[in-house]
Structure formats: structure tokens, C-alpha cells
Structure 1
Amino acid sequence: MKKLVTLVLIIFLLLGSATSIHAEEADGVKEQVIYSIFVDRFNNIDRSRDKQVDIDDPNAYHGGDIQGIIDKLDYIKELGFTTISLSSIMENSPNGYHGYWIEDFFKVEEEFGTLEDVRKLVNEAHEKGIKVILEFVPNYVSEDHPFADDSSKTKSNTTTDALWLDGAVTLNQENEDVKKMLLEAADFWLNETDIDGFQLHAIEQSSITFLKEFVNHVKEVKPTIYLTGTVLNPDKLTEEYLDAGIPLVEYAPLQEAMVNVLTNVGTPPSDIYKKWEESGKRTGLVYIDNKFTDRFTRKIVESGQNPLTTWKLALAYLYTTPGVPLIYQGSEIPMDGDTQEEVQQLVQFNNSDPDLHDFFNKIAAIRTQFPVLSHGKFELVDSNGAMSVFKRYDDNETMFIAINNDVKTRSVLVEDVPEGMQLTGLIGDDIVRKNDDEKYKIGVDRESVEIYITEKDTGLNWVYIGMIVGVFLIFVLFIIMLSLKQRRRDQKPL
């Protein structure tokens, strides 16, 4: 039965993602599951381009390229991702593997490939039902960029402490030439490659006037555009930036809360919910690590926990909480590391954990199959010890998410289930029916998760039970026949 449920979910995911690419609603970004790719550190296939590659130097190119992403599109789709978000691929100064030392906004960095390679990537991704977002860096250029020596086009760099920006110059976005160049660059990538949108780097570092103009401009060019935003300094992220028209923005305090709770067994997941409430119930990009943070796996190992178990708890929260899950490349392995060199190394595809790989697929299938997990209201039902139960619901669907971060089995009583319904688990095939007190007792093993749908309570599944009984009887008859045959053989005279 469990295998059958999994198979149905996977089939739904494959069929659904193949048609979703034709959707014409920009709001569809809220239904995505995003895989974040650091291009130079993903997959090196085209070794003819490795002119600046030195894998022993953490500050040099390591060889990841566009062809390496193309070769892994089936792998990405199999994991259940519907969108890939690429780090900046524009032409950079030497050793600008990260993409933030841009020399030319209208060219592809030759270490990564050509414009034709990008077109091929986008085309093949679209054929597989995968959207492509490109990181756009509107605030900085390389010290070698033509604008760098023009004081009217630049301003003092206030973010030199940020990784990689010590070799960059801050643009004056109020300058008409700068503004014109950035808008034309956005047009170029949208029109020439057919990408689906941009991830805007460090939105709080932009002029709010420019940011709003940029957002309005690209929405006119591509009404269905997907826009996300990253943040370098959360303290500077005012409501004005959140209202600039970018649907999905990072929120570091929520990420920190998830890490702190899930790497400390005995801490209830409801603490993450409280942090979300403190934020004003913001929705945006929901992530647990990225290329700027320690790997979540490193935090798990340091706390003495099992990476596979803890990652399942994290994914259950990431994929069911309001917002869009953003998963950093290699998390499905799961890759480890806390230094820049470790966090940003090439993905170790040969070390993949099949169990975690399957869970990624299954949790993505569940999110895709049930839109309420993308658009429904979100509430904390109750907690018991370090087990918390959450609810996602709308007018048509109600789902319960149980996450037990405790050292022992816990249970929570649920009351607000529609009359005549039962709770059916999608992870472990658990079924919960109303007890004598008119309540539903959800019990989950230690460090485990379950996601429940509400469906009509039809009582015992006699067809399924009959099949099991039938198989058992056939097995018993088979054993009896073998025993009789052996007895006759033993009684036969020599």
C-alpha cells in the first residue's frame, strides 16, 4: 500500500510538472520548488573551457559549466524540483567564479559556456517542465568595468565586508546611463534566452526608486516573470523593499530559527512558527542553508544527530510552511562543510543517499499534488513536548503536518477535522480515526514526520484486508501441501 501511494504521487508530479510550464500566471512562482545552483561549483562537463580552473584554490574557478547543468536536468527533475535558480553567469574579471565582478552584462562568462549554451539549457529545461531563473546583480560591477572609473556612475561601497564584494565597485543607480544599461541588460537576457525570471541580488542595497522601476520594467517585458530577491543585511530590509513587487524575498532570521530548532533534539518546531509570527507572517524564499552559510548537514553532525533523519524533518517544514522552498545544490547528497572551500565545492553526485533522494521526490510530489500547501492558511494546532502539529487549509482542503523533534514518541489530539472524515498519512500510511472522545490522536515516532490529508472515513478497507487474508491463506495452503508431500515421501517404502 505504501509503495502504491508513493507511485501515485510520483506519477502526479511527473505529469503535473510537464504541463505547468505553460501556465500564464506569474503568481505560479508560489507553487515552485527551487533548486539553487552555484554554476562554477555544480558540475564540470566541458573541460575545454577550464582555462582558469584550479580546484586546489578555493578562490579560483573549479570548472562547473552550463553543459554540466544540462546533463543533470533529469536528475533535478527526478528530485522533484520545478525551477532552477542559477548564480550570475555574466562575463567576469579573472577569478570571478562567483559572478559578482561583472565586466560585461551582455556576455556569458566563457568559463561557463556561450549564449547558445544558455539557450539550449533553457529550452531543454522547459521541455522537462523546469523553469529557469538567473541571478541578476544590479548593484555592483568589476573594478575593470568601464563605469568603474567614472565617479558619476559609482558611489562609496558600504558592503566591503560581504564575501567577494571587496573586488567590486558600487553602481550609482540614479545615474541615467547606469539605469539604462541595467534595464537593457535585463531585456537582453529575457529576450535572448527566454529565461523565466531573475533572482535580484542584495535588494536592500539597491536604490528603492531604481528597484521599483526595474521591477515594473521587467514585468512589462515579461508579464509572467518570476522574481526573487536575496538580502545581504536583513537590518536594512524595510517594508518599502518588501512592497517593491518582488514576491519572494529571503528572510535570514527564519532560516536561523529552523537550524537552531532542528539541530537541537527536544526543541519543538512550534518555535519556528513563533519566529514566523514575529516576522508578521512573511512569506518568501524558505531556505535552510546556501552558499553563504554553513551547510545544514554540518550543523546536524556537530549536534550529534543523524543527517538523514534531521533532513527529513527540515524538508517536511520547508515544503509545507508558507513560502517557496529554496534548496541549495548538494543538499540531497547530503553534502557537509563549514568553510568556504567545503560549502562551495563541486557537487559530489557519486555520494548520494538513495533514501534521502527518494524523500526529496516524495515530499515534492506531495507539495505539487496539494495546492493548499502553497496557498492555504497556516496555523499551529498544538504541541506536546517537542512534537508540533500544523494545519494548512482553504475552502476545499485541510491537511495536518506532524513533526516530532523529540527523543521519544509523542502524540497530539486534534479536534477540528470535518465530520465523517479520517486522517490518512502520506509518508507512513498511518490512518487516524475519531476516538471515543470525538478527537483524533496523532502519534508520531521520535524524530519523524507525517503529513495527513483528510478524506472520507469509509471504515475498514475490506477489499484490502481480503487481499491480505487471501494471500495469507494461499501461503498457509502452500506450506500444508509441502508438508503433506514431504510426509508421503518419508513414508514411502525403500
Structure 2
Amino acid sequence: MVKRLIYGAFISFMIITGLQVAPLSAEEDSSHFYYYILVDRFENGTTENDTDKIDRDSTAGFYGGDYQGIQKNIDHLKTIGVTEVILSPIVESEDYLGQQVKSFEQLQETYGSEEELKQLVDQLHEAGIDVLVHVPLQQVSATSDLVGRDWIQADGEIDFNNESAVEYISDRLNDWIEQFQFDGYYIENADQLPTESLDSLTNQVEGLWLGGMSNETTLENGVDIFDQVVRFGNHEETFSNFTGYEADFTSLLNQPLFQSNDVAHYIDFKHTDRFTRALEPTGNHPVTRWKLALTYLFTVPNDPIVFQGTEIPMDGSIDDLSTHKMINFLAGDDQVSRHVEKLSSMREEYESLRSGEMKILHDEDGFLAFERILDDEKVYVLINTTETSQHINLTDIESGKELQGLLINDLVREGDDGEYRIATDRESANIFVVKDNSGIYWPITLVFVGVMGAFIFFAITMYRKQRHKNI
């Protein structure tokens, strides 16, 4: 009986220590964590702006998402660590994606009023979140008030080689900054637009500029035009690496500008299937696999972009537009959301995860291990997509240190051979930070001693009572 009680004390101790989470403190200098919001498909905060354009029976219709819906979820965005939201096009448009522009002078009425947009931006700023707006520069609709101008072609395509087009757009964007206090703009498929015109536009309009590019050559050229370029076109490689057990990360790790802070990247986006959908043929659990993919997204040098609903995590296909389903914030559990929160907090606390050099330590058979180094700060990242536990022995850490696991609570100290052995279970990831050896962790030790003492006292008391009865 006494043995059972002592074992119970040991289990209690393990549970207590397992719940310990390293405190994370924020720093003033933070990296970018972009969150793209498809306004019409985020949340319907009020029905007052639901005009006759709303058609929830059509996959291509307006569903009623609006500024008030975003406003209701600002606390959520702040909690998961978002630093910039990118709003889908806000101009009057024929489609919910905002690509078929009717007017750059009018806002999409189903999203809310100008005053509501101002309130949204103000409240996001109060939460420490900057606001970027996606600017559609490819085409206008047949009913656009711009039809007939010499820089609008017969098919509605905007001739961005025309200086008048650049001047018109730059005037609108500057007006919006003055009126709504936007912090910057995002241009998709920027490599399809003339370089000189883009350079002129970004110089005429202040703010943070993001440009989406899929061509490797234009990606490198884009860093001279934009503050950051968004790497397009590699989601299939990312999907293949994180859906199965035999990942080969080589193609991802050898991408142009992989070590650059001038690039932002994503797992999935509004023009792709959801990563959750790519997992269906494998039968692997979405939450488990999303944690692996997101750990990669947040710990390599490029900055992360997350498409709305990733933290749920949502499912969907681009073919039937189910990738753009309205978000149900009450669906599922919050495991992925909490994982994103942890990752963004770690990027905020550890500067090496934001701007440190990345050194690959292991990249074979579905197991990736690397370190991020900045001055004296070292952080190690282990991502294991395999069906077995994996480990790596570190030999370049000075004696007298310890490694603390941040995603999964762990503490690794120097072995007798002078090496540090860090490991991760199957289909899991962890981040280790090097710290001075803390010796005995007295708070946990005292709790353990207290629990053990209480159990032993109880066991002895019960034993004496039982013995007294038997006499």
C-alpha cells in the first residue's frame, strides 16, 4: 500500500512538472507576423449592412463578413501574436475577393461604413496591430467607373505602364492613409506588373509595402522595390514535406533568399487548398501536422504569413472555394491556436529566432534539426515528421549549460561525455534554448518533497490504524 501511495506521489510530481511553462516576456522590437483577412468571409458582425448582394447559397457570393466582425475578434488576434493584419481589398467590387473593381473611390458597402473602418483601424492600433490593405491592380469590372480611361484596356486590365494609372492609384492610396491611417499595402502577383511603375508607386506612397512574387528572379529583384516580398508557389513542396513521414526538406531549405528577413512565406493561402485538405489522403491528424508545419513556418528566417482560420484549423479546397468558408471560431479545440501563440511569443522573446543565422544540423529521413544563432544566444529547433523518436547530440555547447524545452517542457543537462542530447518524440517538434545551469529547481523540489511527505504521512497513519484493528 505504501508503495502504491509513493508511486502516486511520483505521478503527481510528474504532472506538476509537466505543467510548468517558461514565462515569455515581450520585447519592443518584434518581427512580422502577418494575418491575411478575407473580410467577407471572416465574421458577420452585424446584419445592418447585409444588402441584396448577400448570397450565402452561392460559393462565389458575398457572405456578409464585415469590419464589425473583425472588431469582435481583435483580442483573439492579439492573443495569438499577430503584428500586422492584411485586409483583402476594401474597394467596391463585383466579387467577394475584391478583384473585379467597380470603383477605387467607393468602399464595399457590405463591409460597413467609412466610420466603422476608421474605428476598426483605431482599435487594431490600440492592440498594437498594424493594418495593411491588399490593393488589386490587375483588372476592373465591365461596370467600373474607370472604363473609358486611356489606361484601362478593352478587357478591363489596368495598363500599369501608363504613368496616369500610377498617379491615380498613388493618389488614392495616399488619401486612404490620411483618412484611415493605414500602415501599408500589399500587392499580389507583383511580378506581373512593370518594375519601374511599382518602384514609382512604392516611392510615392509611404508605409510598409509587401509584394507577392512567384518567380525566383523577380523575387530577388523585388527586395529592391518592396519592404518585404511574399514567396508564392511553394505550397505544394511544403504540403508534401509535412503531410507524410519521409520529408525531404532540401528543396525548401535551398530556396532563394531562404536566409533573408526580406521574405515572408506561408503554409497555405487564399489561392491554395487548405493544408488540412492535403492531409486527408494520409489519415494523419490535422492538429499534429499543423503543429509541425507551423513550427517550421515560425522558426526559419523568413517571416510568417497565416491565412485566416489556420488556427482553427480550417479545411477546404480552392476548386469549390470551400477554402474561403466563413470562419467558425467556436469549432474544434484551441490546440493549434495555443501553438501559434507560443511560437509568436518565442519569436518575440528570442531575437535569434527573428534575425539569427540558421545552421542546419540534420536533414535526413523526415527529421530536421537546426540552430539559430545571434551573438551569445542559441536556439535549437527539432522537427520530427517520422514515426519514431529522434535525437541529436550537441558537442559545441560549453560545459555547465542546460537546454530548456519551450514547446514541450524538457530540461537537458550535460552528459558524462560532455555532450548534450536533445530529443523529440514521433510527429512532434520542440524548441530548445541554451541557458546557464540552474542547478536544483527549488520550487518544484519543495513541492515534490511536500507531496511525498504528505503521502508518506498518510500511508503510515493508515498502516498503523489497520494494524491496530488487526490486534
**Structure-1-length-normalised TM-score:** 0.85
Specify the code of the residue in structure 1 equivalent to 2:45: I
Specify the code of the residue in structure 2 equivalent to 1:79: I
Query: Which residues in structure 2 correspond to 1:319-468 (within 5 Å)?
Result: 319-338=298-317, 339-383=319-363, 385-462=365-442, 464-468=444-448
Question: Percent of aligned pairs with the same residue?
Answer: 28
Rounded to whole Å, the distance in 2 between the matches of 1:325 and 1:275 is 18
Deviations 1:72-128 (A, max 9, x none): 1112222222221110011123xx211112222232210101111111001111111
The answer for the alignment partner of 2:130 in structure 1 is 131
Q: In 2 relative to 1, CA 32–282 (structure 1 residues): closer, same or farther, beyond 3 Å?
A: closer
Specify the code of the residue in structure 2 equivalent to 1:341: L
Task: Decide whether the 8 Å contact of 2:237 with 2:252 is kept in 1.
Answer: no
Aligned to 2:239, which of 243, 256, 259? Answer: 259
Task: Decide whether the 8 Å contact of 2:351 with 2:374 is kept in 1.
Answer: no
What is the deviation of 1:2? 4.8
Task: Decide whether the 8 Å contact of 1:422 with 1:432 is kept in 2.
Answer: yes
What is the deviation of 1:193? 0.7
The answer for the alignment partner of 1:222 in structure 2 is none
How large is the RMSD of aligned CA atoms in angstroms? 2.3
What is the deviation of 1:307? 0.5
Task: Decide whether the 8 Å contact of 1:228 with 1:248 is kept in 2.
Answer: yes
Rounded to whole Å, the distance in 1 between the matches of 2:80 and 2:141 is 36
The answer for the alignment partner of 2:223 in structure 1 is 242
Task: Decide whether the 8 Å contact of 1:432 with 1:441 is kept in 2.
Answer: yes
Rounded to whole Å, the distance in 1 between the matches of 2:409 and 2:303 is 26
Rounded to whole Å, the distance in 2 between the matches of 1:445 and 1:370 is 24
Q: In 2 relative to 1, CA 240–83 (structure 1 residues): closer, same or farther, beyond 3 Å?
A: closer
The answer for the alignment partner of 2:173 in structure 1 is 186
The answer for the alignment partner of 2:205 in structure 1 is 218
Specify the code of the residue in structure 2 equivalent to 1:33: F
What is the deviation of 1:483? 4.6
Specify the code of the residue in structure 2 equivalent to 1:179: V
Structure 2, unpaired ranges of 5+: 1-16
Deviates more, 1:133-142 or 1:188-197: 133-142
The answer for the alignment partner of 1:164 in structure 2 is none
Secondary structure at 1:381's aligned position in 2?
strand
Secondary structure at 1:315's aligned position in 2?
helix
Q: In 2 relative to 1, CA 90–435 (structure 1 residues): closer, same or farther, beyond 3 Å?
A: same
Query: Which residues in structure 2 correspond to 1:22-33 (within 5 Å)?
Result: 31-33=31-33
Deviations 1:460-483 (A, max 9, x none): 435532431232112221333345
Rounded to whole Å, the distance in 2 between the matches of 1:280 and 1:384 is 19
The answer for the alignment partner of 1:55 in structure 2 is 56
Q: In 2 relative to 1, CA 485–432 (structure 1 residues): closer, same or farther, beyond 3 Å?
A: same
The answer for the alignment partner of 2:162 in structure 1 is 175
What is the deviation of 1:324? 1.3
Structure 1, unpaired ranges of 5+: 158-168, 220-224
Task: Decide whether the 8 Å contact of 1:320 with 1:373 is kept in 2.
Answer: yes
The answer for the alignment partner of 2:279 in structure 1 is 300
Query: Which residues in structure 2 correspond to 1:95-106 (within 5 Å)?
Result: 96-106=95-105
Secondary structure at 1:400's aligned position in 2?
strand
Rounded to whole Å, the distance in 2 between the matches of 1:192 and 1:419 is 58
Matched, 1:154 2:141: no
How many residue pairs are counted as aligned between the two chains?
452
Specify the code of the residue in structure 2 equivalent to 1:193: F
Q: In 2 relative to 1, CA 238–78 (structure 1 residues): closer, same or farther, beyond 3 Å?
A: closer
The answer for the alignment partner of 2:40 in structure 1 is 40
Rounded to whole Å, the distance in 2 between the matches of 1:238 and 1:332 is 28
Specify the code of the residue in structure 2 equivalent to 1:141: V
Rounded to whole Å, the distance in 2 between the matches of 1:251 and 1:314 is 16
Secondary structure at 2:344's aligned position in 1?
helix
Rounded to whole Å, the distance in 2 between the matches of 1:241 and 1:82 is 22
What is the deviation of 1:179? 1.9
Secondary structure at 1:111's aligned position in 2?
helix
Q: In 2 relative to 1, CA 37–303 (structure 1 residues): closer, same or farther, beyond 3 Å?
A: same
Task: Decide whether the 8 Å contact of 1:383 with 1:412 is kept in 2.
Answer: no
Deviates more, 1:299-308 or 1:376-385: 376-385
Specify the code of the residue in structure 2 equivalent to 1:475: F
Aligned to 2:192, which of 202, 205, 217? Answer: 205
Q: In 2 relative to 1, CA 187–316 (structure 1 residues): closer, same or farther, beyond 3 Å?
A: same
What is the deviation of 1:292? 0.6
Specify the code of the residue in structure 1 equivalent to 2:59: P
Rounded to whole Å, the distance in 1 between the matches of 2:114 and 2:271 is 27
Deviates more, 1:101-110 or 1:474-483: 474-483
Greater per-residue helix proportion: 1
Rounded to whole Å, the distance in 2 between the matches of 1:236 and 1:340 is 32
Task: Decide whether the 8 Å contact of 1:384 with 1:411 is kept in 2.
Answer: no
Q: In 2 relative to 1, CA 131–486 (structure 1 residues): closer, same or farther, beyond 3 Å?
A: farther
Q: In 2 relative to 1, CA 175–117 (structure 1 residues): closer, same or farther, beyond 3 Å?
A: same
Rounded to whole Å, the distance in 2 between the matches of 1:323 and 1:280 is 7
The answer for the alignment partner of 1:162 in structure 2 is none
The answer for the alignment partner of 1:163 in structure 2 is none
Specify the code of the residue in structure 2 equivalent to 1:323: N
Task: Decide whether the 8 Å contact of 1:262 with 1:310 is kept in 2.
Answer: yes
Q: In 2 relative to 1, CA 106–146 (structure 1 residues): closer, same or farther, beyond 3 Å?
A: closer
Rounded to whole Å, the distance in 1 between the matches of 2:447 and 2:78 is 35
The answer for the alignment partner of 1:230 in structure 2 is 212
**Structure-2-length-normalised TM-score:** 0.89
Rounded to whole Å, the distance in 1 between the matches of 2:185 and 2:368 is 35
Secondary structure at 1:256's aligned position in 2?
helix
Task: Decide whether the 8 Å contact of 1:197 with 1:226 is kept in 2.
Answer: yes
Secondary structure at 2:205's aligned position in 1?
helix
Rounded to whole Å, the distance in 2 between the matches of 1:77 and 1:428 is 23
Rounded to whole Å, the distance in 1 between the matches of 2:196 and 2:336 is 44
Q: In 2 relative to 1, CA 104–254 (structure 1 residues): closer, same or farther, beyond 3 Å?
A: same
Secondary structure at 1:471's aligned position in 2?
helix
Secondary structure at 1:451's aligned position in 2?
strand
Deviations 1:391-423 (A, max 9, x none): 111113110000111110111122222443221
Task: Decide whether the 8 Å contact of 2:40 with 2:96 is kept in 1.
Answer: yes
Task: Decide whether the 8 Å contact of 1:422 with 1:434 is kept in 2.
Answer: yes
Q: In 2 relative to 1, CA 477–56 (structure 1 residues): closer, same or farther, beyond 3 Å?
A: same
